[in-house]
């Protein structure tokens, strides 16, 4: 393989440079630390844009690949293998963008141990980028587990009152699922003699055909992988860690958690479960669609009953990710592409909602929905941005959420794999319920008479830094809503390739 500039390695590990610089700064130099972290994150975002400019969307294959032998012992072919394709490129961009935004949003929110916070944030970015870029299961697993650690500390140190509980629960829950995946990875590697996913994909069909890996074993492997990813998504009924983690996490943590970490789960299904275990995926599609549908309705219903604003948005994630799962296992281009778009959308919209809730929390230090009210009158800019974010999350046409939801439901409705329009039909009720809980949140906080909280606090409208934080997200909401063609064009070839390999 000819040598080319290791752009993806640079992209993945560039935040480490920032970490090193920060290590040489004193803890008291808070602003310097913030600027270094922000600059690093922005440069990383720049690198991801650079990589994107070299990315050819018409090409459905892995691109910008870097494949080096890493560990070769006793037939274990472990590679250092980074590459990007249409399935992951948007998620990488989302990761680098949200990481920069998350750092910007903690400018004043985190005053305590800024140095550690920024180091963990940057390390988290390394882990997340690695997850989306790794094409070797061993490498993927390392990044997958590695990304847990900084998040654990972000929640555990800078979180709310029950932060330690939430952090431990988050860690253990995700860890428990990963163990099963590890076993499955080892089994696969032994059978195929490689850890590289593309290599596996060329070997596996033969093994399935020859019966070396029986249909039952394939299903077991599917379930083992699914266990790890389903917890991360989180799919109903494995969502119990999510509200705790979201409620306790600091704003930046919630943004990254909702925006990127959850996508790692759905991405795992897309990247590994569907292509590696095609027959099992088709067999499991109706079941996963059922769980997705339950998640949509259940998440929406539960979300409506919350009194805690962050918890409300956390449960809404369960509902939104249900849509993603439904779309993925529609196993047709509309559904899968819609699901990927919806992953991005959820990162943008829910990320924006968490950012906005964080901004008001910083001013009032309460998450009780009942003490708010009439904020739109007091903070018009804040109210307007919140309105856009809310309606984007609800799926108003013209904003991004609608594009994802519509294509997913359309795909699921006519899906051969799910082979039952009822799932999509019932899920469409989730669209009504989304309106109910989002409007409940928006009304209780922004409309109506001025709430109790306004008597105790002098509430100032957003400052420039906060507005700058929101602008890229708002622009993306309109962009994806009004002109999503470029995004779909990036996805389409890779999605078509993925699905053409399925025996449907």
Partner 1 sequence: MHLSEITSSGFFFLAPWLVFAPLAGLLINMIFANRFKFSENLIGGIASAASGVAFIVSILLTYSLSLQHGEAARWRLAEWFSIGSLSLDWTFRMDTLSTTMMLVVSGVGTLIHIYAIGYMREDVRFKHEEGRFARFFIFLNLFLASMLVLVSGDSYLMLFVGWEGVGFCSFLLIGFWFEMDTLGRSSWANSNAAKKAFIANRVGDFGFLIASFLIFWNLGQSLQFDQVFEAAKNAPPGVIVAITLFLLLGVAGKSAQIPLYIWLPDAMAGPTPVSALMHAATMVTAGVYLVTRSAPFYNLVPDAQYIVAMVGAITALFAATIAVGQYDIKKVLAYSTISQLGFMVAAVGMGAYVAGFFHLIAHAFFKALLFLSAGSIILGIERGHHHAEHAEHADKSKSKKGKKEEHGHAEHGEEAFDPGDMRNMGGMRKTMPVTFWMYLIGALALSGIFPFAGFWSKDEILLDAKLHYPAAYWLLTIAAFFTAFYMGRQIWMVFFGEARTAPAKHAQESPKVMTLPLVALAILSVGGGALNFPFEGFHNLGHWLEHTLGEVESMPLNLQVAGVSTLLALIAIGISWLIYGRKPLQNGEPDPLKKALGFIYTGMENKWFVDEGYAALVIKPFDKLSQFLADVVDWRFWHDFVHERLIAGTYNWISAIALDKYSDKQGIDAFANGLATVSQRLSAGMRKIQNGFVRSYALSILLGVVLILSYLIFK
The size of the interface with partner 1 (CB under 8 A), counted in residues, is: 59
Select the span of 56-64, 236-244, 275-283, 351-359 touching partner 1 (CB under 8 A). Answer: 236-244
DSSP characters over 379-392: -HHHHHHHHHHHHH
475 contacts partner 1 (rule: CB under 8 A): no
**Whether the Cβ atoms of residue 266 and residue 325 lie closer than 8 Å to each other:** yes
- Shortest reach from residue 470's CB to partner 1, in Å: 16
Letters for 356-375 (x = contact with partner 1 by CB under 8 A, - = none) are ------------------x-
433: tokens are 């319920």
Nearer to partner 1 (CB atom), residue 128 or residue 238: 238
CB of 198 to partner 1, least distance (A): 24
- Give yes or no for residue 171 binding partner 1 (CB under 8 A): no
DSSP H or E segment with residue 334: helix 333-364
Q: Which is nearer to partner 1, 216 or 449 (CB)?
A: 449
- Which residues lie closer than 8 Å to 12 by C-beta, 6 or more apart? 82, 126, 129, 130, 133
Nearer to partner 1, 45 or 304 (CB): 304
Tell me which of 324, 431, 477, 498 binds partner 1, using CB under 8 A.
Answer: 431
Q: For residues 427 and 412, is the Cβ–Cβ distance under 8 A?
A: yes
Among positions 54, 305, 475, 501, the unique one binding partner 1 when judged by CB under 8 A: 305
Q: Is residue 205 close enough to count as binding partner 1 by CB under 8 A? A: no
DSSP helix/strand/coil, 448: coil
Residue 385 burial by Cβ neighbours in a 10 Å radius (0-12, 13-18, 19+): buried
Task: Examine residue 65 and tell whether it contacts partner 1 (CB under 8 A).
Answer: no
- What CA dihedral angle connects 410, 296, 374 and 351, to 10 degrees? -80
Of 98-106, 193-201, 250-258, 442-450: span binding partner 1 (CB under 8 A): 442-450
The string of DSSP letters for 19-55 reads HHHHHTS-TT-HHHHHHHHHHHHHHHHHHHHHHHHH-
Q: Are 375 and 364 in contact (CB under 8 A)?
A: no
| Nearest distance from C-beta of residue 131 to partner 1, angstroms | 25
Residue from 12, 192, 306, 349 touching partner 1 (CB under 8 A): that is 306
Q: Look up residue 196 and give its DSSP letter.
A: B
**Cβ nearer to partner 1, comparing 361 with 437:** 437
Taking the complex as a whole, how short is the minimal distance between the CB of residue 354 and partner 1, in angstroms?
20
- Give yes or no for a contact between 145 and 178, defined as CB atoms under 8 angstroms apart: yes
- Cβ distance to partner 1 smaller for residue 17 or 301: 301
Does 453 bind partner 1 (CB under 8 A)? Our answer is no
Q: Is 449 in the site for partner 1 (CB under 8 A)?
A: yes
Is the previous residue joined to 237 through a cis bond, with omega within 30 degrees of 0?
A: yes
With CA atoms as reference, report the closest residue to 312 among 364, 372, 268. 372
Is 398 among the residues that bind partner 1 (CB under 8 A)? yes
Q: Which of 221, 347, 411, 423 binds partner 1 (CB under 8 A)?
A: 411
What angle separates helix 400-413 from helix 309-328, to the nearest 10 degrees? 40
Binding site for partner 1 (CB under 8 A): 169, 237, 240, 243-244, 298, 301-306, 315, 332-334, 337-338, 374, 376-377, 391, 396-398, 402-403, 406-407, 409-411, 413-414, 421, 424-425, 428-429, 431-432, 435-436, 439-440, 443, 446-450, 483-485, 487-488, 491-492, 495
């Amino acid at each position: 393989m000819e040598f080319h500039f290791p752009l993806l390695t640079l992209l993945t590990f560039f935040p480490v440079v920032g970490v090193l610089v920060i290590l040489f700064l004193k803890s008291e130099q808070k602003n310097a630390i913030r600027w270094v972290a922000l600059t690093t994150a922005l440069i990383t975002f720049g690198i991801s844009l650079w990589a994107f400019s070299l990315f050819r969307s018409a090409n459905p294959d892995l691109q910008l690949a870097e494949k080096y032998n890493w560990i070769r012992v006793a037939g274990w072919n472990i590679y250092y293998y980074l590459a990007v394709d249409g399935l992951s490129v948007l998620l990488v961009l989302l990761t680098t963008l949200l990481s920069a935004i998350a750092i910007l949003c903690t400018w004043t929110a985190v005053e305590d141990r800024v140095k550690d916070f920024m180091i963990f944030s940057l390390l988290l970015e390394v882990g997340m980028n690695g997850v989306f870029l790794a094409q070797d299961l061993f490498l993927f697993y390392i990044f997958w587990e590695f990304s847990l650690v900084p998040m654990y500390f972000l929640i555990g140190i800078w979180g709310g009152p029950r932060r330690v509980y939430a952090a431990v629960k988050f860690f253990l829950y995700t860890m428990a699922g990963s163990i099963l995946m590890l076993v499955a990875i080892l089994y696969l590697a032994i059978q195929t003699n490689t850890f590289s996913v593309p290599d596996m994909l060329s070997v596996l069909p033969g093994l399935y055909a020859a019966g070396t890996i029986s249909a039952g074993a394939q299903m077991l492997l599917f379930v083992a992988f699914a266990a790890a990813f389903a917890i991360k998504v989180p799919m109903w009924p494995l969502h119990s860690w999510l509200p705790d983690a979201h409620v306790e996490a600091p704003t930046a943590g919630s943004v990254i958690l909702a925006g990127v970490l959850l996508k790692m789960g759905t991405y795992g299904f897309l990247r590994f479960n569907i292509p590696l275990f095609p027959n099992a995926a088709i067999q499991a599609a109706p079941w996963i669609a059922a769980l997705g549908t339950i998640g949509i309705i259940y998440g929406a219903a539960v979300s409506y009953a919350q009194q805690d604003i962050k918890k409300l948005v956390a449960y809404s994630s369960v509902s939104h990710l249900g849509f993603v799962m439904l779309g993925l296992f529609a196993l047709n281009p509309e559904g899968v592409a819609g699901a990927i778009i919806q992953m991005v959308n959820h990162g943008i919209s829910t990320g924006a909602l968490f950012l906005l809730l964080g901004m008001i929390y910083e001013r009032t230090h309460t998450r009780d929905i009942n003490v708010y009210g009439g904020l739109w009158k007091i903070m018009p800019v804040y109210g307007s941005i919140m309105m856009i974010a809310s309606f984007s999350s609800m799926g108003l046409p013209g904003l991004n959420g609608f594009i994802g939801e519509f294509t997913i439901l359309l795909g699921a409705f006519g899906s051969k794999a799910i082979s039952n329009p009822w799932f999509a039909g019932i899920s469409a009720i989730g669209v009504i319920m989304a309106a109910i809980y989002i409007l409940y949140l928006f009304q209780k906080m922004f409309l109506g008479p001025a709430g109790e909280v306004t008597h105790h606090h002098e509430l100032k409208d957003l400052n420039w830094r906060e507005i700058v934080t929101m602008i890229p997200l708002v622009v993306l909401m309109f962009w994806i809503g009004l002109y999503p063609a470029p995004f779909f064009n990036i996805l389409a070839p890779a999605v078509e390739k993925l699905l053409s390999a399925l025996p449907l």
